A and B are shown apart, each in its own frame.
Chain A
Amino acid sequence: MNVITPFEGIGARVRRKEDLRFLSGRGQYTDDINRPGQAHAWILRSQHAHARILSIDTAVAAAMPGVVAIFTSADLTAIGGIPCGWQIHNKDGTPMAEPKHPVLAEGKVRHVGDPVAVVIAETRTQARDAGEAIQVEFEVLSGVSGTTAALDPAAPRVHDDVTGNLCYDWHIGDKAVTDAAFAQAAHRVVFETTNNRLVPNAMEPRCAVGDYDTTTGEHTLFTTSQNPHVIRLLMGAFVLNIPESKLRVVAPDVGGGFGSKIYHYAEEAIVTWAAAKLGRAVKWTSDRTEAFVSDAHGRDHVTRAELALDKEGTFLGLRVHTQANMGAYLSTFAPCVPTYLYATLLAGVYATPAIYAEVKAVFTHTVPVDAYRGAGRPEATYLLERLVDVAAKQCGFDKLALRRRNFIATDAFPYQTPVALEYDSGDYFSTLDQALETAGWADFEARRTEAAGRGRLRGIGISTYLEACGIAPSAVVGSLGARAGLYEVGTIRVHPTGSITVLTGSHSHGQGHETTFAQLVCDKLGVPISQVDIVHGDTAKVPFGMGTYGSRSLAVGGSAMDKAMDKIITKGKRIAAHLMEASVEDIEFDRGTFRVAGTDKTKALAEISLAAYVPHNYPHDELEPGLEETAFYDPKNFTYPGGCHIAEVEIEKETGRVTLINFTAVDDVGRVINPMIVEGQVQGGIAQGVGQALLENCIYDEEGQLLSGSMMDYAMPRADDLAPVSVATHTTLCTHNPLGVKGCGEVGAIGSPPAVINAVVDALRDYGVSHVEMPATAPKIWSIINGKSL
Chain B
Amino acid sequence: MYDFAYHKPSSLAAAVSLLSADPDAKFISGGQTLLPALKHRLNKPTSVVDLTGIAEMRGIRREGNKLVIGALTKHVEVATSAEVKAAIPALAQMAATIGDTQVRNRGTMGGSVANNDPAADYPAAVLGLGATIVTSKRKIAADDFFVSMFTTALEVDELLVAVEFPIPEKAGYAKMRNPASRYVMAGAFVSKGPMGLRVAINGAAACVFRQTDMEAALASNWSPEAAAGVKQSADEMNGDIHGSAEYRAHLVSVMAKRAVIAAG
Residues of A within 8 A of B (CB): 125, 128-129, 132, 289, 654-655, 657, 695, 697, 699, 707-708, 711-716, 721, 777-779, 782-783, 788
The 4 closest A-B pairs by CB, nearest first: A715-B180, A779-B243, A715-B179, A779-B247
Which A residues are CB-close (under 8 A) to B48? none
Q: Among A129, A711, A778, A783, which residue has its beta carbon within 8 angstroms of that of B180? A: A711
Q: Among B176, B183, B244, which residue has its beta carbon within 8 angstroms of that of A657? A: B176
What are 13 pairs between A and B in contact, CB < 8 Å? A129-B2, A132-B41, A655-B251, A695-B179, A699-B241, A712-B181, A712-B183, A721-B179, A777-B243, A778-B176, A778-B179, A782-B250, A788-B246
What distance in Å separates the Cβ of A327 from its nearest Cβ neighbour in chain B? Answer: 20
What distance in Å separates the Cβ of A112 from its nearest Cβ neighbour in chain B? Answer: 16
What distance in Å separates the Cβ of A720 from its nearest Cβ neighbour in chain B? Answer: 10
What distance in Å separates the Cβ of B133 from its nearest Cβ neighbour in chain A? Answer: 27
Whether B1 is near chain A, meaning CB under 8 Å from some CB there, is yes
Which B residues are CB-close (under 8 A) to A713? 180-181, 241-242
Q: Given A713-B242, A779-B243, verify A655-B176 contact (CB < 8 Å).
A: yes
Which B residues are CB-close (under 8 A) to A716? 180
Which A residues are CB-close (under 8 A) to B263? none
In the complex, besides A132-B41, A707-B241, A777-B179, 5 extra interface pairs with C-beta distance below 8 angstroms are A129-B2, A777-B242, A779-B247, A782-B250, A783-B247
Q: Among A132, A697, A712, A779, which residue has its beta carbon within 8 angstroms of that of B244? A: A779
Whether B49 is near chain A, meaning CB under 8 Å from some CB there, is no
In the assembly, what is the distance between CA of A713 and CA of B1, in Å?
22
What distance in Å separates the Cβ of B205 from its nearest Cβ neighbour in chain A? Answer: 16
In the assembly, what is the distance between CA of A655 and CA of B258, in Å?
12
A-side binding surface: helix, strand, loop or mixed?
loop
CB-nearest residue of chain B to A721 = B179
Number of interface residues of B (CB under 8 A): 18
Q: Given A289-B40, A778-B243, A779-B242, verify A712-B251 contact (CB < 8 Å).
A: no
Which B residues are CB-close (under 8 A) to A697? 241
Which B residues are CB-close (under 8 A) to A289? 40
Whether B25 is near chain A, meaning CB under 8 Å from some CB there, is no
Which B residues are CB-close (under 8 A) to A125? 1
Which A residues are CB-close (under 8 A) to B176? 655, 657, 778
Find residues 170-196 in chain B having any chain A CB closer than 8 Å to their own CB.
176, 179-181, 183
B40 touches A782 (CB 8 A): no
In the assembly, what is the distance between CA of A149 and CA of B183, in Å?
34
Which A residues are CB-close (under 8 A) to B242? 713, 777, 779
Q: Given A707-B241, A715-B179, A779-B243, verify A654-B1 contact (CB < 8 Å).
A: no
What distance in Å separates the Cβ of A443 from its nearest Cβ neighbour in chain B? Answer: 30
CB-nearest residue of chain A to B100 = A718
In the assembly, what is the distance between CA of A128 and CA of B2, in Å?
10
A782 touches B247 (CB 8 A): yes
What distance in Å separates the Cβ of B102 from its nearest Cβ neighbour in chain A? Answer: 14
A655 touches B180 (CB 8 A): no
Which B residues are CB-close (under 8 A) to A783? 247
Whether B129 is near chain A, meaning CB under 8 Å from some CB there, is no
In the assembly, what is the distance between CA of A355 and CA of B179, in Å?
39
Q: Given A125-B1, A655-B251, A655-B254, verify A711-B181 contact (CB < 8 Å).
A: yes
**Contact pattern, B 237-262, Cβ under 8 Å of A = 1, otherwise 0:** 00001111011001100100000000
In the assembly, what is the distance between CA of A125 and CA of B1, in Å?
8
Which A residues are CB-close (under 8 A) to B251? 655
What distance in Å separates the Cβ of A413 from its nearest Cβ neighbour in chain B? Answer: 43
In the assembly, what is the distance between CA of A312 and CA of B1, in Å?
67
**Contact pattern, B 35-58, Cβ under 8 Å of A = 1, otherwise 0:** 000001100000000000000000
CB-nearest residue of chain B to A697 = B241
Q: Given A289-B40, A655-B251, verify A714-B1 contact (CB < 8 Å).
A: no
Which B residues are CB-close (under 8 A) to A655? 176, 251, 254
A708 touches B40 (CB 8 A): no
Which B residues are CB-close (under 8 A) to A715? 179-180
In the assembly, what is the distance between CA of A788 and CA of B249, in Å?
14
In the assembly, what is the distance between CA of A708 and CA of B246, in Å?
21
Q: Among B180, B247, B250, which residue has its beta carbon within 8 angstroms of that of A714? A: B180
Which A residues are CB-close (under 8 A) to B247? 779, 782-783
Which A residues are CB-close (under 8 A) to B181? 711-713
B180 touches A654 (CB 8 A): no
**Contact pattern, B 215-229, Cβ under 8 Å of A = 1, otherwise 0:** 000000000000000
Which B residues are CB-close (under 8 A) to A779? 242-244, 247
In the assembly, what is the distance between CA of A602 and CA of B64, in Å?
90
CB-nearest residue of chain A to B244 = A779
In the assembly, what is the distance between CA of A129 and CA of B246, in Å?
43
In the assembly, what is the distance between CA of A128 and CA of B40, in Å?
11
In the assembly, what is the distance between CA of A654 and CA of B179, in Å?
17
In the assembly, what is the distance between CA of A684 and CA of B31, in Å?
33
Which B residues are CB-close (under 8 A) to A132? 41
What distance in Å separates the Cβ of B250 from its nearest Cβ neighbour in chain A? Answer: 7
In the assembly, what is the distance between CA of A637 and CA of B246, in Å?
53
**Contact pattern, B 193-236, Cβ under 8 Å of A = 1, otherwise 0:** 00000000000000000000000000000000000000000000
Which A residues are CB-close (under 8 A) to B183? 712
**Contact pattern, B 54-83, Cβ under 8 Å of A = 1, otherwise 0:** 000000000000000000000000000000
In the assembly, what is the distance between CA of A711 and CA of B180, in Å?
6
